[in-house]
Amino acid sequence: MDSTQAVPPRTTPEVLFADVIVPRHLAGPFTYTVPLSLQPTLRIGHRVLVPFGRSILQGAVIAIFHTLPQGLDRARLKEIRSLLPEGPATDVSSKLFQLSRQVAEQYVAPWGQCLRLVLPPLPKPQAEVSRYELTEQGRAALEAQEPCSKKMLAVLRRLDKKPSGRGRSFRSSSLGDLLHDLKVRGWVAEVLNIPPTSSELLTLPASQPTLANFGITEPTILDSAMSWAEPLLKALRGQGSSRVLVQASWNDRLKLLQQTVRLVLDRGQRVLIIAGETERAQWVADSIRNDETGISPVCFHSGLSDQVKADVWDQIHRQSVRVVVGTRSAVFLPLTNIGAIWIEGEDDTALKEPQEPRYHARDVAWLRAQDEQAVLVLSSFHPSLETRTLMEQQGVVVRKLPPSDARANVQVVELRDHGYGTVLSQPLIRAIGQAIDRRAGVLLFLNRKGYAGALVCRDCGEVPRCSACRVALMYTRQAGCLLCSYCGDVTPIPETCVSCSCPHMQFIGEGTERVEEDAKRLFPHASVIRLDGDTMRRPTQAKSLWRRVEQGEWDIVVGTQMLLRHVPLPTIGLVGIVQADAGLSVPDFRSAERTYHTLLDAVSLADPAGAGGQVFVQTRLSTHHAIRAVEQNDEAIFLSEELSHRNALGYPPAIYLIALLVSGTDEKLVYDAAKSWVARLTDCHLPSVAGQRVAVKISSVAQSIDQPDRLLVLGPVPSPIPRLRGRYRWQILVKSRDRGAGLESVRLTVREMERAYQRRSIKFEVDVDPIEMW
């Protein structure tokens, strides 16, 4: 939509209407009348202030017209209050305006909600203040002595004496009707004051060059050691948009990122870098900062105050920043002339927005790259299977995997060979003692996502799985049974293992506190630090613990995945992965992939084998492909088996997924609404298979999604968290090999459901390409 489209000039007053979208969970725009004072200047794309209920909201104009659509009562329409105060961000750029619409379409979200993503962040609002100003028409009427009442004339003269306007105190009950009449005539405008953004509050380093001398004066000399990445460097030197997957260690990726930034700046373009976590984004910015060459990135993330974020946004909008590093929301910043967008850690789940609109920054970045004719770089040590498959088919892939002697010596410990209830095996205990004696740091690592109430055989390590979906069954304490969180299949708790008939079944999950307790008991003279969600909850305590870690005031660290987000970490001589297979029991089809990635990250923390680095992987599933791939340092073992499973059972990247959630306070009403949604999807001109029939004959499901134009609907089933904050929750899964067919069916039916239940406190949520499944 062209934000420069103007309304033709008019010589006589006439009624004009505008459709405005507002940042609320509402699918369509709202129609307002345009005051006479705004008719000559209002444009499509302008940001305006509009009354909405008892509030004043910012919105964007998406249409301007003279004829009111049928069915709308002009008398009930409200009037646009004003344009946003003049400034660099008064209107949304046409590119970002269109981007918000694309996100709304791709993620089946209200356009108004997506509009918020591209609007500038505002500091926390001060007390709302309105003032009344004399318009140009009003001044002309005053000079021409247009016929009006004495009271109206007095008001016009008072406003003329104070061109900046008068506050709400000027308004009294006796003047209310007069002011309204003056507004209708277009002689007076009521303006809502919003404190302007203070760009002066953003202080950049004293050594940072100004925009005039920001470019790199010396030509970039390519490092010969970067020849492995020549396909990327060629793409950066070329024209048009392209996608490149970079799979390499962090050190190699950092060197390539620095090279990429220099190449792009040499061309007079800008760079946008996105990371999943705030801490990693800040660290990336610090790693590439180089005042000598003018690389001085600005950070944009949730850790900044509202005021600072507003100031950074304004700096970027004025194009005085060349390199931006931020978290997922940074993909919507008003950076122009972008030469490269770099996604650091493209497999990071934090790149997916958990709230509506549930966009994925990696995919939105590709929309921007195409619009800007830029290169999109997807960077990771272990790319997601979806990205790997897509890029091998449609993109460019560059890899530099570390040599085998660069990693620690990995030893798998089979816990089935040790006593029941073993937390730290004897081989690991001996290794810990030896590491402490030689003053090599010890990390005892746990994957906390393994605590999903799963059942495991103590003898063979087998986890009960759904016969249709092949995901781990989840124990529901309330129902006293095992439940599939995908199709709803219910299974009694088995007395013996279905694989080896052993009666020794147990619910898994040793916590960090138990590991810390054992470590202190076994090594009473060692300094033990525990880093997890409990000990790191308070910022002051977290800062103190990280300081101790960084200064080496410890012998043993007991930690979770939180450690993987803190960079850089100190030298670690021994890594003990206490329960490597815990994540495999999570009822999620990605559980094996996430476990594999987590194990790779944990292994990478240890010193190389040549420096004495050791990793002990404790497991009861030593034959699982994720464990074997880590032990043998061969990702092909994992990829071949995992992709085979995904293709056979119909999971991404073989198909597309859409997760639907129905919630409300009335349990029966929620369940009925969920069943109704499934019925509407089933009837939506595309054949589907109800979830309850999946377990009967799995081949019928495989056949149903083999055809591109078919949908498979699973559910409804209780959400893995069946009740949250007093609201009951039911889940539906939609599978399709044709992304467009799935989106269209969901888009049509969700509108029908919202209309049918609009007054019954039922909420319908859509998550396209879901990341978290439990």
Q: CA nearest 495: which of 486, 487, 504?
A: 504
Is 621 in the same domain as 680?
no
Q: Is residue 584 part of a domain?
A: yes
Average pLDDT by consecutive 10-residue portion of the chain (774 residues)? 49 78 81 92 87 86 88 89 68 84 94 87 56 78 77 80 54 62 76 46 34 36 72 92 94 94 94 94 91 86 88 90 96 96 96 95 98 97 96 92 88 85 88 94 76 69 79 72 80 88 74 85 93 79 86 90 74 92 86 95 91 94 95 96 94 95 94 96 61 35 54 90 84 93 93 87 94 76
List phi, psi (to 5°) of 549. -65, -50
* 461: number of Cβ within 10 Å: 24
Domain end point (choices 86, 118, 150): 118
Residue 406: the pLDDT is 86
Residue 13: the pLDDT is 58
Tokens at 54, concatenated: 């008892």
Tokens at 162, concatenated: 């104070």
Q: Is residue 457 part of a domain?
A: no
Question: Residue 397's beta-bridge partner residues?
Answer: 245
- How far apart are alpha carbons 462 and 452 in whole angstroms? 15
Q: Is residue 305 part of a domain?
A: yes
Q: Is residue 687 part of a domain?
A: yes
Element (H, E) at 129: strand 129-134
* 351: number of Cβ within 10 Å: 25
Is 287 in the same domain as 424?
no
716: preceding bond cis by omega (within 30 degrees): yes
Is 170 in the same domain as 93?
no
- How far apart are alpha carbons 765 and 774 in whole angstroms? 15
Domain end point (choices 647, 673, 700): 647
Q: Is residue 465 part of a domain?
A: no
Q: CA nearest 346: which of 244, 228, 235?
A: 244
CATH number of the structural domain spanning residue 101: 3.40.1440.60
Q: CA nearest 159: which of 181, 190, 128?
A: 190
Q: What is the dihedral of CA 497, 503, 507, 509, to 10 degrees?
A: -90
Contact (Cβ atoms closer than 8 angstroms) between residue 6 and residue 61: no
Residue 537: the pLDDT is 74
447 burial class (0-12, 13-18, 19+ CB within 10 angstroms)? Answer: buried
Is 438 in the same domain as 337?
no
Q: Is residue 489 part of a domain?
A: no
Residue with tokens 């124990």: 475
Domain end point (choices 118, 147, 173): 118
Is 523 in the same domain as 583?
yes
CATH number of the structural domain spanning residue 672: 3.30.70.600
What is the SS3 string spanning 605-663?
CECCHHHCCEEEEEECCCCCHHHHHHHHCCHHHHHHHHHHHHHHHCCCCCCEEEEEEEE
Is 707 in the same domain as 753?
yes
Is 286 in the same domain as 375?
yes
Q: Is residue 499 part of a domain?
A: no
Residue 223: the pLDDT is 58
Per the structure, the complete domain to which residue 151 belongs is given by 130-193
Q: In sequence order, which residues have a C-beta less than 8 Å from that of residue 524 and are 6 or more positions away?
A: none
Is 540 in the same domain as 435?
yes
Tokens at 422, concatenated: 């073993």
Residue 697: the pLDDT is 31
CATH number of the structural domain spanning residue 294: 3.40.50.300
Is 388 in the same domain as 409?
no
Q: Is residue 204 part of a domain?
A: no
Is 373 in the same domain as 428?
no
Is 244 in the same domain as 362?
yes
Is 238 in the same domain as 153?
no
Domains contained in the chain, number: 5
Q: What is the pTM of this model?
A: 0.79
